[in-house]
Structures are given as C-alpha cells and as structure tokens.
Amino acid sequence: MMLLFSIGILVSCIENNNIPYKDVVLEIDTIYVPDHFKFGTIDTIHIAYSLPDDCSEFRSVYYQYQDTARILAINALMYDRAICVTSISNRVIKFPIEVFQMEAFVFKLWKGEGVNGVGIYQEIVVPVEY
C-alpha cells in the first residue's frame, strides 16, 4: 500500500513538470542585513520578495558579482495555466553571504527596468569589520 502511495506522489510531481512555463526575473522588495559583516565569516541576509499570483513559483536567487557589489534578483517560474489567481504572496528567504572581502558590500537590488531598458537598482551598503 505504501508503494502505491509513493508512486502516486511521484506521478503527480512528474505531471506538474509537464505544464509549460517561462523563466522570469522578479524584483526584490527589500533585504534585511546586519549593521556590519565580520571578515572571514559566513553571515546570513534575509531577502523579501513577492510572487504576483498562484502561477508563479520561486526558483532561485540571482546573485551576480560586480567588483565589490552584488546584484540580487529573484529567478522564478511562471506556469502557463488557463486560470491564475492574482494574489500577491510575500515571502522571505535566508541567503548565506561569505565575507571574504575587506571592502564594504554593496547590494544592488533589482527593481525592474526603466523606460529605456536599463536596470533600476536600490543600493544597500554593509560595512565589513576585521
């Protein structure tokens, strides 16, 4: 009986993967950071973001190095379903930060694109103590 239950769960997961989807990038609402990082440690920041509807799903954190800055956004999946309920879902995830640079961290939170297609960013600076 347990085997049939397990197979049922596996099949339902596989069927969900057959729904067409597209990758989208979502803006970050804000991040919660400490007053400072300590050099040589691993610290944690909290990233707040919003999913626009029940057809959207978190995939990963977009985290790109740019000198001493870090560009942050949310990679999400948007499923192509006939009906999507518009219901904003606010989420917060923990994200580890390895503090192995002596300069302050500049987090550039992606806020979308301007009219000319250039990215709009909010910057948050966190100093590093030794």
Residue 10 within a domain: no
Strand partners, 125: 106
44 found inside a domain = yes
Tally the domains of the chain: 1
Does residue 5 belong to any structural domain of this protein? no
Each residue's pLDDT tens digit, 75-118: 999 999 889 899 899 999 999 999 999 999 999 999 999 989 89
Supply the pTM of this predicted model: 0.80
- Alpha-carbon distance of 82 to 119, in angstroms, equals 31
Residue 14 resides in a domain: no
Residue 40 included in any domain: yes
pLDDT digits 0-9 by tens, 22-60? 999 999 999 999 999 999 999 999 999 999 999 999 999
Domain membership of residue 88 (yes or no) is: yes
Give the domain range for residue 72.
21-129
**CATH, residue 74:** 2.60.40
